[in-house]
Structure formats: C-alpha cells, structure tokens
Amino acid sequence: MYVKIRKDGAVGLGRGSEGIAEITLGYGEAHMVAAALEKLAQTARSYKQSYVKTTDVGSGNKIDFERTPDGALIVSGDGHSYSCTEEEVREVAEVLRHLPPVQALPSSDYAQKVQPQDGFCVAVKSGGKSLRLKLHESALLKTAIITSIDSRFYQENIVIGKRRIGVQRTSDLKWELSVDDDKIKFTAYEIESLVNGLHNGTLDVLMDLVKSMGSDKIADIRIKSVIQRIEQDATKILEQEKRARGIVRSLTRSAEKILGPGSDADARTKEFIDMCKFVYSTVEPAFDEPLFNLFTAVYVSAGGSA
C-alpha cells in the first residue's frame, strides 16, 4: 500500500488506486491507525477491529482492519478495501508513525488577507495593480483557477449580484483576472503562488473568526449563537426556495465544521470553500447574493482583523 499526505493535509492510503479513490484519515490520526495496523499484523485468524475517525475527511467515518479465517489481511474504509501481506501492513504502520511534518502552503506575493473593509478582506496584486475580494469571491476564484490549470483555454465569469469576476486563460502561459472593469494578468509561473495566496488569505480570515470565539467556558455558547444565526437568516433568505430545508441543513452542518472544535485550519478552509461552491453551483442564482452577504456578515465582520 502507498501512504501519502494530500494537498489538503489529510493522509491517503491506497493500493493500485489514484486520485481520491483511497482510504483517508486525518494527519493527527496517523498514530492511532498505525497502532491498529500493528495489532492486525500480530493477531491470529478471525480478527476484526474498527477505528472510528475523529475527523471529517473521506466519505466514511471508520476504517476496518480484518484478518479472515483463512489468514488474509484486509483494510477497508471510505468505500475501498485492500488485501495486504503481513509485511506490507507492518511497513505502512511504520511509515504512519514517522510521517514528515506538514508544511504550510508558502506565502504569496500575489494574494493575501487585508484589513476587512465593507466585507472586502483578500487582495490580489500584480504589476502594481490590485483587486479587492470578499471571502466567498476568494474561495470561488481559487476554484476557478484550479479548474483552468487543467485546460488549454478557459473562460468563466462569476456573477454575484452586480459583481462580475472573470477568469480567462488564453494560452499555456497567460491568465487574466478581472473584477468588473479592473484587470490583472498573470503568468503560468505566478499562478500557483496566486492559488496558494487565495487559500492562505481565506484561511487567515476564517481563523481570525475561530480565535475570536475564544477558548473559555462560554466559547461553545458563542459558536452555537453564530450557527443559529446562519440557520435562521438562511431560512428567511430561502423562504421561496423549494429546497430550502435541505440547503439550510447543509449550510448549518458546514458552519459547525468551520467553527466547531476538532478541525485544523486547512480542514476549516476546505469546508468553507466547498460550502461556497455548493451555493454557487446548486442554489438558484437569485439567492446567491443574499446568502453570500450572510457569509460576509458572519465569517468576516464578526472576526476580521488586521
């Protein structure tokens, strides 16, 4: 089996697989899974143990370790099962015990968090020009650029209310980003750093909010109050949307993952970006702007800092 640390910081286990078709666990869970694998290798026939994940990575909530009556070793999770040798199980356990430290994405000269003003909290800069973005715009722009990297030509206009954000790739080496009539050009060399900057800028704004919740005895009350506001305001906004109940449920669950305990900064950021993608791709466009305004009020105004 292979062991990898993914770009999102989670750990993947696979065998003859690629992409996200693998068993996934949180980086901090590696030692627990290593112990379970070591015990599996040491145990005789007819043994089964399940490890319940403490993070929300992957599509399932547990990993199963089994030695069948005929002695076969099987590791299963997230809809995937791998048959392994005893030696292989021990090797994977050893690798998991000695994973290298996760390096934060490098800082970027092209995008970073700025002092929130009127909801704008991330700035994209290049060649003396600057574009100001709101938090959801940073998330959607990062998504669009990542999609454009796997292309020869790409053009998208992200329209939310009166704001129009353009992403255009006209050649292998050139990108142009725009907000309304303001435009900035990037080269292929600069674009990866821009993606990292958008991710880190979004992360920094969210972590300002998380830190503002505190860690005292009433922190849980503060978090629940914010989540309740999202649920109530989203319900009002989506009053005329037929799928309102399901959408509100999804937004509330995301808020719990973003604000609640047990997730690292990258996991919170990924959840926020996924939530923005969900709204933009799934909800009727008429509701995009009021929902994203709610996100700005909750995730930026309540916790933004310099």
Span 204-255, pLDDT tens digits = 999 999 888 887 778 889 999 999 999 999 999 999 998 999 999 999 999 9
**Greater model confidence, 167 or 71:** 167
Q: Is the pLDDT of residue 302 over 60?
A: no
Q: Could you tell me which CATH number the domain at 111-202 has?
A: 2.30.31
pTM for this predicted structure: 0.70
Residues 6+ apart with CB under 8 A from 69: 45, 46
pLDDT of residue 306: 43
Q: Is the pLDDT of residue 148 over 50?
A: yes
SS3 34: helix
Taking only the tens place, the pLDDT of each residue in 158-188 is 999 999 999 999 888 899 999 998 999 999 8
Residue 19 CA: distances (Å) to CA of 12, 79, 259, 283 = 10, 14, 28, 28
Mean pLDDT of the chain: 90
Q: Is the pLDDT of residue 303 over 60?
A: no
pLDDT of residue 9: 77
Average pLDDT over residues 141-153: 92
In angstroms, the first-to-last Cα distance of the chain is 45
Average pLDDT over residues 84-113: 86
Of the candidate ranges 29-33, 40-44, 106-110, 162-166, the one whose mean pLDDT is the lowest = 106-110
Taking the C-alpha atoms of residue 173 and residue 156, their distance in angstroms, rounded to an integer, is 17
25: left (phi over 0), alpha (psi -120 to 50) or beta: beta
pLDDT of residue 305: 47
With b for 16 or more beta-carbon neighbours within 10 A and e for fewer, the 160-189 pattern comes to beeeebbbbbeeeeebebbbeeeebebeee
Taking only the tens place, the pLDDT of each residue in 39-54 is 999 987 789 999 998 8
Q: Is the pLDDT of residue 263 over 80?
A: no
Taking only the tens place, the pLDDT of each residue in 111-138 is 999 999 999 999 999 988 999 999 999 9
Sequence spans of domains, the chain: 2-97, 111-202, 208-301
